[in-house]
Amino acid sequence: MGKKRIIEKTKEELLAEREKIERAIKKEVPLKVSRKLTEGKIYISTSYNNTMISLTSLQGDVLTWTSAGALGFKGTRKSTPFAASRVGKVLAERAGRLGIKKVEVLVKGIGSGRESALRALAGGDLEITSIKDITPIPHNGCRPPKVRRT
């Protein structure tokens, strides 16, 4: 193994990197949101592998979204209740930055992060007006296969 070299950035490179980050933060608020919204809908989608939450306007336009994978959780850690609570905290913070106070929550899926994501949202500064479960439930099932002939 050779010597390790530490690469130091110059002031110009650091300033350029900071400007790039600030531009990315400004882009995070969508251009569609020119007027102040105070109400919205939050869709929580949990599966066995991930937890995804999106914030929409009352008309259904997606304002922001996040997931356990987007926060840096990998593999089986994405499906844990802890990851879901972190996703809920991040989305509640983003909703506060957008100026949204009242939300309806629609929960879909059968993952382990359903309740913890909901608790994290309630722990934020959001007023939850209603919680609705929209998990699709088969009412008659699919058609069975034909009888096997040998």
Domain ranges, ordered by start, for the chain: 36-133
- Composition of the chain by helix, strand, coil, percent to 5: 35, 25, 45
104 and 132 in contact (C-beta within 8 Å)? yes
For 75-103, how does the pLDDT look when each residue is reduced to its tens digit (9 = 90+)?
999 999 999 999 999 999 999 999 999 99
Decide if 95 contacts 122 (C-beta within 8 A): no
Q: What's the pLDDT at 27?
A: 59
Residues with Cβ within 8 Å of residue 97, at least 6 apart in sequence: 29
**What pLDDT does residue 3 have?**
73
Q: What is the pLDDT of residues 120-132, one digit of tens each?
A: 999 988 999 999 9
As a whole-number percent, the residues of the chain with pLDDT over 90 amount to 66
Could you please state the CATH topology (level 3) that the domain comprising 36-133 is classified under.
Answer: Nucleotidyltransferase; domain 5 (3.30.420)
> What stretch of H or E contains 133?
strand 127-133
What's the mean per-residue pLDDT of the chain?
Answer: 88
